[in-house]
């Protein structure tokens, strides 16, 4: 069942998403060589709670952390821990915030210092593929228009699209219908209507699309152990142009500082 949100509900998701954007900025300000991913997780949890909100992921289906931190070949759902960031790494930071009854969800993949040109391109193309998908997230289009656009852009640039993990509706629940695949056909799927709130989140691999799950039951990595990138925004379907509720503004500011 799909829940279309009222303007009052969208306002609450907007507030949740603002806290999330700032939490991402706080994490970004700490990202540098030598810090562990556990330290980033701890700070994110404190920051979110200090703002009167809760980390959406903490205890979600038993997930034990506030952030999913996924370095290099890890696609998504990585556990924060003893991993020390080093030059040339990439890490995806995925975070959700629960505030006044509503979730928001957003992810960003960071480069640590200088990374290889092909990895730099992977990050750029994945972020751009999210923007391309959002361009199609307008009332009257079909869900498949978003999926097709992301896949077409990623593959045209020589990368591959993860199939098993998808974006989703979001609101009172972290994951709601419909699923939002990052691959598909134009003109297929449900017709997009105003008030539908979606988390759109391309997961794009440098090598082949195949993934495996680690023995911890959560961590997803590429089968060929080549790097993977992940960017995510929570958006609301509008006429003409989607409204992006989450923001990378605070991340970009922290990176420039």
The binding site for Mg ion (CB under 5 A) comprises 94, 105, 107, 199, 232
Measured CA to CA, the distance from residue 238 to residue 150 in angstroms comes to 19
Measured CA to CA, the distance from residue 239 to residue 214 in angstroms comes to 42
Burial of 117 (0-12, 13-18, 19+ CB in 10 A): exposed
Among residues 115 and 180, whose Cβ is nearest to Mg ion? 180
Q: How far is the CB of 232 from Mg ion (least distance, A)?
A: 5
Q: How far is the CB of 107 from Mg ion (least distance, A)?
A: 5
Q: How far is the CB of 236 from Mg ion (least distance, A)?
A: 15
Among residues 158 and 219, whose Cβ is nearest to Mg ion? 219
Q: How far is the CB of 105 from Mg ion (least distance, A)?
A: 4
Among residues 57 and 153, whose Cβ is nearest to Mg ion? 57
Rg of the chain's alpha carbons, rounded to an integer? 17
Among residues 87 and 164, whose Cβ is nearest to Mg ion? 164
Among residues 179 and 224, whose Cβ is nearest to Mg ion? 179
Q: How far is the CB of 11 from Mg ion (least distance, A)?
A: 21
Write out the H or E segment, with its range, that includes residue 210. Answer: none
């Amino acid at each position: 069942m799909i829940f279309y949100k009222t303007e009052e509900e969208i306002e609450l998701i907007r507030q949740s998403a603002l806290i999330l954007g700032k939490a991402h900025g706080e994490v970004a300000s700490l990202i540098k060589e030598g810090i562990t991913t556990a330290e980033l997780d701890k700070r994110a949890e404190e920051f979110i709670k200090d703002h009167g909100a809760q980390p959406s992921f903490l205890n979600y289906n038993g997930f034990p952390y506030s952030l999913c931190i996924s370095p290099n070949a890890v696609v998504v759902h990585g556990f924060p821990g003893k991993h020390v960031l080093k030059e040339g790494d990439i890490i995806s930071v995925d975070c959700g915030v629960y505030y006044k009854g509503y979730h928001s969800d957003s992810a960003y993949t960071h480069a640590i210092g200088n990374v290889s040109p092909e990895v730099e391109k992977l990050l750029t193309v994945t972020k751009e593929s999210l923007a391309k998908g959002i361009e199609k997230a307008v009332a009257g289009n079909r869900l498949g228009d978003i999926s097709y656009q992301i896949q077409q852009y990623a593959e045209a640039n020589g990368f591959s699209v993860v199939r098993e993990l998808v974006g989703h509706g979001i609101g009172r629940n972290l994951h709601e219908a419909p699923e939002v695949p990052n691959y598909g056909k134009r003109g297929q799927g449900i017709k997009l209507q105003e008030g539908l709130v979606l988390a759109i989140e391309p997961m794009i691999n440098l090598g082949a699309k195949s993934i495996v799950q680690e023995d911890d039951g959560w961590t997803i990595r590429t089968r060929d152990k080549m790097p993977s990138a992940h960017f995510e925004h929570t958006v609301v379907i509008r006429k003409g142009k989607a409204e992006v509720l989450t923001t990378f503004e605070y991340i970009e500011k922290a990176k420039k500082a």
